[in-house]
Amino acid sequence: MTEQTLTEQLPADALPKHIAVIMDGNGRWAQERGKARVFGHKAGVDAVKKTVSEASKMGVKVLSLFAFSSENWRRPEEEVSVLMELFVSVLSREAKRLHKNNIQLRIVGDTSRFSSRLQSKIADAEALTQHNTGLVLNICANYGGQWDIVQAVQQLAQDVKDGVLAANEIVEQDIACRLTMADLPDVDLMIRTSGECRISNFMLWQMAYAELYFTDCFWPDFDEQALRDALYWFVHRERRFGCTGAQIHAAQA
Ligand code: IPE
Ligand code: IPE
Ligand code: MG
């Protein structure tokens, strides 16, 4: 397919504003090759680079990548420590390139549990890219959808206690505006690789009306074409947000 036909089939205004990806299957990818699981995590970094660059090129506004869940601490200590080392080295290596491409990097999650070395790499990379106006790249690390809602509710409870708002007047927006990614649009498209069809405590609130795309491909095999396949699928979905199909067609006419 030529670049021209691709642009025609994926018109910029029909693209998802916010894509969230559960990058799954690194371990199985490695095991299939008779290698240790961590080999798959390292190979997964290339898939991250391809996905970020393609999403940025296509004009997607926000890309959120699930890199480490609040439950992934349950893994063997050695795997967790390789993952942490990988974060440090990738952040150090890639921050400048992201900056050059006008990408704003945010690390979303409870980073207080990370080593001080990693926390300082995170602070440096975020500071370097904070004023960039292109793609917003959220790397969700020690993130959990339930954690996100809990931290919002903690702020809310404090505000009720301080008399800022009344408990019986709380509406959805009062929670939404206290979530970690409150300034960004909700997720339009969620992609999960590796054939698993679950959400695994990713962005629960923000995915309320997301289209869910599952592919059998393991994360290290995900590339530009795989992303375009997902986008092509997405632009053909009819999103109804509770309305009927007829109402949606009338509104589009
Ligand atoms: C996803 O791949 C990466 C992380 C969760 C950090 P996995 O490590 O979960 O790979 P599988 O699912 O075991 O194959
Ligand atoms: C979800 O993958 C978390 C990330 C991709 C970072 P998992 O591999 O941890 O999910 P489960 O445990 O299979 O649901
Ligand atoms: Mg997995």
Protein residue whose Cα sits closest to atom 3 of ligand 1 = 24
User: pLDDT tens digits for 62-76?
Assistant: 999 999 999 999 999
Q: Which fold has domain 14-252?
A: Undecaprenyl pyrophosphate synthetase (3.40.1180)
| Separation between Cα atoms, residue 59 and residue 62, nearest integer Å | 9
pLDDT for res 253:
87
State residue 172 phi and psi, 5-degree precision.
Answer: -50, -45
How much is the pTM? 0.96
Tell which atom from ligand 2 comes closest to the C-alpha of 24.
5
| Separation between Cα atoms, residue 40 and residue 86, nearest integer Å | 12
pLDDT for res 10:
81
- Tell me: pLDDT of 3 over 70: no
- Tell me: pLDDT of 36 over 70: yes
Structure tokens that stand for 244 in this block: 């009927």
| Separation between Cα atoms, residue 189 and residue 210, nearest integer Å | 5
What average pLDDT does the segment 245-249 reach? 96
Tell which atom from ligand 1 comes closest to the C-alpha of 23.
1
159 is catalytic: no
For the chain, which residues make up each domain, given as ranges? Answer: 14-252
- Is residue 31 within 6 Å of ligand 1 at its C-beta? no
- 24: which DSSP letter? -
pLDDT for res 59:
94
User: pLDDT tens digits for 107-158?
Assistant: 999 999 999 999 999 999 999 999 999 999 999 999 999 999 999 999 999 9
Rounded to the nearest angstrom, the distance between the alpha carbon of 240 and the centre of ligand 3 is: 31
- Is residue 220 within 6 Å of ligand 1 at its C-beta? no
What average pLDDT does the segment 208-212 reach? 98
| Separation between Cα atoms, residue 181 and residue 143, nearest integer Å | 12
174 is catalytic: no
Selection from 249, 251, 229, 252 nearest residue 9 by Cα: 229
